[in-house]
Chain A
């Protein structure tokens, strides 16, 4: 599993570069690097469905980000400016939150099963009943389209809402 750790380190470095670099196009390329390394890690944990979706979604995400940045400006002029009062305050609050969050998170991560030993209490039933009850060989497709199809309906609603929002915000005529 050494390659998983290498990709995790790569992902973290790319993430730090993405939020600290001055050129916004380079920041978006680093965002793409993080997304593609997440997709490759999905393959390492045996989730091919997720890997396919993540790769194609990542391509579209980068295209949309680049479309926005090419229309506007690609220099982040806020990098290197002096920190304002509210910014220092927000950094202090952020540090406070990180300490609080890490104490809670470390305790709750200890409750989880260790990496590589999933408990699979509910999943056992889905794997056993998936093929006999739905006839589909892909258990993930069985879960999202048969056992938990209402989840997918909700997802379709959210996507529809966001498309309506984009179309409404991008209309050509409107109040000035």
Chain B
């Protein structure tokens, strides 16, 4: 995929860090403020999509990032199932909130909900990014 003009590249360079920070904030504060794993994961996937759209990438780089994205998606799914199964193993109920609840309205509270948010954000972000990569790589199929 080809990149875009110099203006787009410069603006992307300066803005992409803020998008990542915003996504991380949305994920980590998902149990206190609006947002959560879904929104944060899609925002981080959107940051990667912006980077690829602005700078372009070769076929080999796309293949490599597809592999990395699928690994991350599996890690997210396993983390989510792992949190659920540890509730089953430690206390006998699937998806039991077994961690201490902490002080309400603080960052370290709500038991397993922040862990689930992180797992879902990894899964959703990697999944949507790999969908985008698969559709971006379609060029090589259409033109053969």
Contact = CB atoms under 8 A, between A and B. Distances in A.
Interface string A125-149: 0000001011111101110111001
B32 A136 contact: yes
Residue with the highest number of chain A CB atoms closer than 10 Å, among B81, B105, B109, B135? B135
Nearest to A148: B95
Give the interface SS of chain B, mostly helix, strand, loop or mixed.
Answer: helix
Interface in A17-74: 48-49, 51-53, 56-57, 59-60, 63-64, 67-68, 71-72
A51 B36 CA distance: 12
Interface stretch (A5-13, A107-115, A165-173): A165-173
B46 A49 contact: no
Contacts, number: 141
Contacts of B66: 167
Interface size class of A (residues with CB under 8 A): 35 or more
Contacts of A144: 36
A64 B131 contact: yes
A123 B32 CA distance: 19
Contact of A56 (B43, B111, B141): B43
B70 interface: yes
20 contacts: A48-B34, A53-B42, A64-B132, A67-B132, A67-B136, A135-B97, A136-B109, A137-B32, A137-B110, A138-B31, A138-B33, A141-B36, A141-B113, A145-B112, A145-B120, A146-B97, A149-B95, A160-B73, A163-B70, A172-B141
The list of the 9 closest CB pairs from A to B, nearest first, reads: A135-B101, A48-B34, A136-B110, A136-B31, A135-B110, A149-B95, A170-B134, A56-B42, A52-B39
